[in-house]
Amino acid sequence: MLSDRKEKILAAVVEQYIKSGEPVGSKSLLESLPMKLSSATVRNEMAELSSMGYLSQPHTSAGRIPSHSGYRYYIDNLMGTRELDEQSRKKIESAIGSNTDPDKLLSTAGEVLAELTNCATLSTTPAGETTLIKRIEMVPVGTRTAMLVLLTSTGILKSRICRSEFELTVPLLESFYNITSSQLVGKPLCDVNIATMQTLAASVGADAFAMLPFLASIADLAKDASQADILLEGQTNLLNYRELEENAYELMEFLRKGEPLGSLISSSKSDVNVLIGEENKFRQLQNSSLILAKYSVGGHESGTIGVIGPTRLDYAKLIPSVRYLTDLVGRLLTKAIDEE
Instruction: Say which residues have a Cβ less than 8 Å from residue 57's Cβ, sequence separation at least 6.
Output: 23, 50, 63, 64, 65
pLDDT at 133: 93
> Is residue 31 classed as helix, strand or coil in its secondary structure?
coil
Averaged pLDDT, 334-338: 78
Q: What percent of the chain is modeled with pLDDT above 90?
A: 50
Mean pLDDT rounded to a whole number for the chain? 89
Sign of CA dihedral 168, 170, 175, 176: positive
pLDDT at 61: 65
pLDDT in tens, 214-262: 999 999 999 999 888 889 999 999 998 888 888 888 888 888 887 778 8
- Report the distance separating Cα 144 and Cα 162, nearest Å: 9
Averaged pLDDT, 174-198: 91
Phi/psi at 335 (nearest 5 deg)? -60, -40
pLDDT at 84: 84
pLDDT at 60: 66
Q: How many residues does the chain have?
A: 340
Q: Domains for the chain: give ranges and CATH numbers.
A: 4-78 (1.10.10.10), 86-126+228-339 (3.30.450.40), 133-226 (3.30.390.60)
Residue 157 pLDDT greater than 70, yes or no:
yes
Residue 129 pLDDT greater than 80, yes or no:
no
Task: Tell me if 164 sits within 8 A of 145, measured CB to CB.
Answer: yes
Residue 267 pLDDT greater than 80, yes or no:
no
Averaged pLDDT, 279-307: 89
